[in-house]
Structure 1
Amino acid sequence: MCVQKVTTEDPHQQMLARLEWELEQRKELAGKLKEAQTSREKISQEIQKKEDYLDTLQPKLQAILEVTRPVQNYLKMPYDDVREQQQTARHLPLPLYVLYMQASAYQQACDKFLKVTIEGNVDEAKSMDLDMPEIDDDSDSDQDAEEQEKRTSKRRRKTQEARLAEKRQRVIRKHPLCVNLEITAKDGSVLHLTFFFLPTLHIITVGVKVVPSKDVSTNSITGGDLMSPQTVLDELYPGDHGETTPNPANQYELGRYGMGEFGQYVDRVGRPYMWAQWLGGLQFLDLTESDTPSGSTSMTVRAKTSISATYMQQSIKRLRQRLKARLGLLRQLSSLEQGVVPLSGSVIKKFPAKIVSRLSSWKRITLDDLEGLPHAKRLVEGGFVSRNDLLFCAVLERGSAKLMAHIIVSVDYPEVAPLFLISIAWQSHRTALTDMHVKELEEEVNIHYEELVVDKTHDQLLSAQVQRLLVAFDVYLETETLDLTAPVEIPKEKVIPRMYRGPSRSKPYKYVPELAVFTQR
C-alpha cells in the first residue's frame, strides 16, 4: 500500500511505471510482429508453391488431354472438340445458335450419322457489331447527292459510288461464323449443308454440296445435274425453291439501294430456303398477312427454339430422303441410258420371266419439247408439269413397232410417282387421244404403280414403271395380232386366257405372278 501510494502521489514514480508498461507493450507487440512476419513468410511460401504447381498443372492437363484423344476417337466421344465447339457457339448469332443447339441435340438423341460443326473466324465474330446502325440517307437523298456530285468533281463522284457499293456489300454481308451439317447416307454419300446468317437482312442462307460415295455411278448423261447444288434441294417443301427471300422487309432494304431482286445474289450468299429459316427458329409472315405498314423495314423476327424443335426432325428426314432418292435415281438413269432396267430380285418377281420388248433409247428433253406434243397439252395446261421437273423420252421397240414414252419425274420423286405419256407407232400413230387401249396402257403405268413397291424398294419406282411399260407393250402388240393382216413378227409369247373384256374391249394388262397369266382389271 505504501509503494502504491508513493507511485500514485510521486510524479517521478508515475513516469517510471508508465515507461515500464510501454516497454512491456513494445516487447509484446514486437513478439506479435515477429510471429506475423513468420506466418506471412510461411503463407507466401505456400502460395508460391501452389502457384508453381498450378503453372505446371496446365501443361500436364494439356498433355493428358492429348494422350486421351486416341481413346476419345476410338470411343467416338470427342469431348475436347465438343468443348471447343460450345465455346465457339457463344459467338454465333441467335438464329445460328438455335440451329446449332437443336441440331446437336437431335444428333445425340436420334441420328448418329448427322455431324454438326461450327466454322469461321471467331475473332471477327467477336468484333462484329450485329446491331448495325441504320443508314439514314434514303434513295432520294442518294440520288440528289449523286446529281450534286456530278456538278462538282469526278473525284467526289467516285467517292459517292464507292460509298454506295460499300453499303450494298454491307446488306448482303455474311456473319463470320457458319454452321455445317453433314448428313451421311448408308452407302457413304454425304450431303454437306453450310448455314450462313445475313445480319442486315436477318435471314439464313444455305450452301449445298453432295459428295457421292465411290460405289455410286455418276456417269449419267441424262442425270448430270441431279446433284447440282442449285436444284438438289428444290421443293424440299412444296413451293420452296430458295430463290426469293422469305423476309418481306428485305424487298424494301434491297430496293433502297437499287439492288434489284434477291435471286441474283443466291450464288454468292446461298439460297434462303424456308426450312432453313425454320431450323434457325425464324418464321416470317407473308407480306399479305403482315400488318407492317407499307414501306416499313422494321420487321424483326426473333429466333424461337420451339420453331426449330418442331421442324428439325422432319426436315432432317426429308433431307436424307432427298439424298437417297437422288442417288437412287442417278443409278437408274445410268442403267436406263444403256438399255438396262435395274431392278432388285423382289421387284423382278412382279413381272414375267420373258419380256420381248426392249428399251432402245433414253434421253433428256425440255419443257418446250413436251409442250409441242398434242397428247401432252392437257397435262401442261392442267398444271401437272412444272419448270423444275425432270423430263425424259424413252423409246421401246419390238419388231417394227415403236412406243415413245415421255416421262415427267417430279423433283419430289419418289414421293410423287413419275407420269408417263405414251404414243405408239405401228401401222399408224396412236395416242391416248385416238386409241382407248393406249389410254388404258397409260392408266396401267400411272395409276397402279403402288403394286410395284415391295420391301422398301420405293426408290426403284421409275425402273419398275419402265419394266411394266415393256410388259404392257408386249401385251398390247400380242392382243392386236388377232387381225389376219398383222405381221408375223409379233408372235404370242404371253399366257392370256381372255383377249378382251367388256364393251370397251379392255386389254389384259394386269399380270398375276402366282398364276403367270394376264388378265383385265
Structure 2
Amino acid sequence: MPNQSLSHLDALSEVCRQLREIGGQLMQAKAESPADLQRTIPGLVTQSNQLFVALKARNRQTYNHTRATKQATTDAKLQMDRQQLGLQNFHYERRHLEKEIQKCEEFDSIYQDINLVPVEEFMARAPAELTSIMDPHQLMINRLNFEMSERLRMEKEQNNQHELQSKLLSENKRAKAELEKLDGQLEAFLKGSIPLQESLKLPIETERKQSDTARLLPIPLFVLFRHALGYSEAFGHTITVDIQGDAATAAALLQSQTASSLPSSPAQQSHQRFLAVPVTSMSAALLAPRLAHILERQGSSAPSTPRPTHDRDDDEGGLSAKKHKARHGSLGLDQFYKRHPLEVVITINKDDTPQSHPILKLRFAYLANLNIVVVAPEECAGILYLDKRDMLGNLFPGDTGTESPNPTNQFLFNGEDAFEFDALQANGHAYHWAQHLCGLDFASTPPQQPDVVGKWVQEPGLPRRVYLAKVIEVVRVRRRGWKQLEKQLESLRMFLVEGLGFGGGGDGPDVLC
C-alpha cells in the first residue's frame, strides 16, 4: 500500500538517474573526443529535454499527491478532534452522573429519621402482601406504609383516650366539689357536736385534732407517735402521749412542700424528711384541702406550747459550744440543729393504776438536717438535787447520747473536719434507743461494756431492737434509783445518815458532827 501510493517517487528517481547518465555521457564525450562533441550534444539535449518534461510531470504529480495527503491528514485530524470531543463529553457526562448518584446516596430522606418498627416486628405483624416482597426498596416502602397506618390507628386511639380522660377529669372535678361540700358539712356537724361530746365525756374531737396534727409529723416522730399511742391504748394508764409545738408552722411547711410536689434540690430533700408521708403529685392534691382546714383551725386555737430550752451554763458546755462556733460558724450549726416545729411528748406514770401520777416526761424532737432524733427529759417529779437531763444517760450500757448515731454526719464538712454533735445546742441527747423507737436504724452501735441490763447485741453483728415497753421499764428502774439517791442526798444535806454508827446508838438516825 505505501509503494502504490508513492510510485511517482520511484519514477522521479528514475528520471533523475537518466539525467545523471546523460550528464555523464556528455562529460565523457567532451573528454574523449572534443571533435565529436558537437554531433553528440543535440541528441543528448533532446533526450534531456524529454527527461525534464517527464521530471516536471513527476513534480506536478508529487505536488498533487502531497496536497491530497495534506487534505486527507486534515480530514483525519478533524475526525480525530470530533472523536476526542465526543470522548470528553462522554467523560463529563459520566462524572456528572457519578456526582448525581453520590448526591442521591448521601441524600438524607425524611424516612431515615422516622423510628420505624424493627424488621422482625414488621414481618410478624404486617399483612402477608407487605412482607412477601424481598426487594429492599419495595420492602422499605411497605414498612413506611405500615408505619403510617399504625400511627394513624394509634393517633385515633390516643384521641379516644384523651376524650375519655377529659370525661373522667370532669367527673372527678364534680365528685371533688361534692366531697369538699360534704367535708364542710362534716366540719359543721363536728363543731355542733362538741357540746354533746363534752357532756358525754367523749374525746372524739380531741382525738380528731390529734390525728390531724399527727399528719404533720415527720416520719420518725410519726412512727414513735403511733407506737406510743398503740402502747397507751393497750396498757391504759401506763403512759400518755401528746404532740406539742407549732402546728400552724408545720402545716405551712407541709403546704409549701406539696406546692413543689417533688423535691429536686438537696434543700428540698431535707424538707421532705419533715413529712410523715412522702409527697407525690397525687398526695399533694389530696392533702391540700385538709391542710387548709388544719391551718384555719390552728389559726383560731390557742398559741402553741413553747419548747423548753436547757439552762445549763457550766464551763464544759460553754466551751464545747464555743469550739463549734469557732470551728464551723454559728450559722451552719443553727441549720444543723434545726428542729421540726412539732415534737412528741411521752409522759411515763409511776405504775399501771388509774391513780398513778406522772414521774417523767420525755420530749422527742427530730433534727432533719442530721436525720436523728434527740430526747430531753422534763418534769422529773421528786428529783431536786440531780440534773434531770442526766437521767437517761447510759440507760442502756454505753449509750451516752453525746455522739450522733448517724455515721453520715461525720462527713458534713466535706472531709475537712469531722462533725461533733453538741447535745447542748441540740437541746437533747441522741440516744441509740431513741433512734430504734423512731424507726431509724443506723450501722453504728454504742460501745459494749459489762452491764446488768443486757448488751445491745446478742451476737457479733446481730443488733438487738429496743422496744417501748423495755424503755419504760428501765426508766422506772432508773427513776426509783434516783429517788433513793435523792433521799440519801437529802439525809446528807440534813447531816443525817442511817446505820453508819456515828454516836447516838439505837435504831434512829445518827447525827454527823
TM range (shorter): 0.3 to 0.5
TM-score by length of 2: 0.41
Q: Comparing both structures, which one devotes a greater share of its residues to strand?
A: 1
TM-score by length of 1: 0.41
Rg (Cα) greater in structure: 2
Q: Comparing both structures, which one devotes a greater share of its residues to helix?
A: 2
